Amino acid sequence: MDGVPGFVPRVLRDPDVSLFRADDRVFEAILDGWRSQMLARGLAVDTIKARAGVVGRFQAFTGDYPWTWRPVDIEDFLAELRSRSRPIGLTTLRSYSNAVSMFCAYLTHPGYGWGDLCERTFGNIPTQICFDWNTPRHTTDDAVPPARRSFTQAELQHLFDLVDDVVDREYAAGSKRWLPAMRDSIAFKTCYAYGLRRRELTMLDLTDFGPNPHLPDYGPFGAATVRWGKGTTASGPRRRTVLTVPEFAWVVPLLEYWTGPDGRGRFQTAERSSALWPSERSHRVCLGSLSDSFADYRRAAGLPDELGLHCLRHSYVTHLIEAGYDPAFVQTQVGHAYASTTGLYTSVSADFKQRSVRQMIARRLGQPGGPAHD
């Protein structure tokens, strides 16, 4: 077993070696072993550092060591984080409990030998302290804040019209601000037309677009390859291909114009890279810049504060569902691993619901044996 990453090192197993400050030495050795085990699993270094840091904070909070931890300790730790004047979010809370749970799972696994060592050295056997009944739920039911919704069609039209008016006004005034305003306008519409996350939008390159042989009318913009899709924990980006759909075909001429000399070609920085959205000082606009610009336009349009740039992605899902697309297709387009997540993104309008009810009633009335008309 000596070759297993994370197994008890021989220096700690040797019965002839006395441990000076045994508590600290064993705890540090356990953390080192856990780091080795996570490295062997292929996790990212930043993920390993973050998880080990959480366990270190938890140990400092309790003032005790893992072989004496109890379920009430993790409950007190999480409760303290949530009771501050600025409590941490539920997602962060879940990641903290996950870190402690995974550490305990490693520590108590008989294949690593830590339980035997702790019993022999301290007279205590470590146990798992994180359970379903004392940690945040591991479900997508609370993944999307209730206030975050999709834009209505009217809200989107109002917002996009306002941005285009700014472009026209700045251009007519001879201001240099018209060019970044035009970039932002087309970027926002592209984000909506392909249901992109903010980072996915920012990281788009010219080479990420290609034809769809089944829809030749869209030319080189029949599909977009998303290279920086959100992956699972520590797995790195996940690629997907998003097809251009007829409901959003209006984005094709916008992209044709933008990728030409009169669009992104006007940025001097565009010559040095293939980034789709250059800035005045860098070859690629930063994520914060697009988010801040969107927030400014949203405020100018008088729309609610909860409608951020990410809500364009919610709108894409909702409007495809309202257009009659199969939910499984929509799930593939946006890169959701679970249909339940796509469901959370869907906030269909009252008109759509009423129309669906009327269609269902009409269908039922038209069936033999169905209820008769009054």
**Domain limits for position 101:** 10-138
CATH number of the domain that 170 lies in? 1.10.443.10
Supply the pLDDT for residue 369.
44
Residues 128 and 189 in one domain: no
Shared domain for 173 and 322, answered yes or no, is: yes
Residues 116 and 86 in one domain: yes
Task: Kindly state whether residue 205 falls inside one of the protein's structural domains.
Answer: yes
Position 208 in a domain = yes
Decide: helix, strand or coil at residue 241.
strand
Which are the contacts of 145, defined by CB distance < 8 A and separation ≥ 6?
306
Same domain, 289 and 201: yes
- pLDDT (0 to 100) of residue 340: 61
Residue 184 lies in a domain: yes
Q: Please report, for residues 156, 166, 342, the alpha-carbon distance to residue 161 in angstroms, rounded to integers and kept in the order given.
A: 8, 9, 28
Residues 230 and 290 placed together within one structural domain of the fold: yes
Q: Do 49 and 158 lie in a common domain?
A: no
Q: What is the largest CA-CA distance in the chain?
A: 94
Q: What angle do CA 241, 245, 249 make, to 5 degrees?
A: 120
Cα–Cα dist 251/245, whole Å = 10
Residue 93 sits in a domain whose CATH number is 1.10.150
User: Would 100 be classed as within a structural domain?
Assistant: yes
- Residues 121, 210: one domain? no
| 244 and 326 part of one domain | yes
Looking at the structure, do residues 133 and 175 belong to the same domain, yes or no? Answer: no
Listed in sequence order, the residues at least 6 apart from 312 whose beta carbon sits closer than 8 Å to its beta carbon are: 151, 188, 191, 192, 195, 196
Alpha carbons 81 and 54: distance in angstroms, whole number: 12
Q: Note whether residue 256 is domain-resident.
A: yes
165 vs 104, 171, 178, 267, 309, CA distance in Å? 58, 10, 10, 21, 19
197: left (phi over 0), alpha (psi -120 to 50) or beta: beta
Residue 141: its pLDDT value, please? 40
Q: What gap in Å lies between CA 310 and CA 297, rounded to an integer?
A: 14
Look at residues 88, 106, 138 and tell me which one is the last residue of a structural domain. Answer: 138
Q: Let me know whether 246 and 118 are in one domain.
A: no
* Structure letter (DSSP) for residue 205: B
Q: Which residues pair with 225 in a beta bridge?
A: 241
pLDDT at position 78: 92
Q: DSSP secondary-structure letter at 282?
A: S
Q: Residue 309 — φ and ψ, nearest 5°?
A: -60, -35
Q: Looking at 112, 138, 164, which one is the last position of a domain? A: 138
Average pLDDT per run of 10 along the chain, which is 374 residues long? 69 54 89 93 90 95 94 92 86 91 94 91 93 74 57 94 96 94 97 95 95 94 91 69 95 96 91 91 89 95 92 92 89 80 59 55 57 44
Which position has the token pair 């980034």? 275
The tally of domains found in the chain comes to 2
Residue 145 counted as domain residue: no
In the block, residue with structure tokens 């939910």: 327
171 and 317 fall within a common domain = yes
Could you tell me if residue 367 is inside a domain? Answer: no
d(CA 126, CA 109): 10
**Co-location of 65 and 208 in the same domain:** no
Six token digits for residue 146: 């209730």
Residue 105 lies in a domain: yes
Domain finish residue from 138, 173, 193: 138
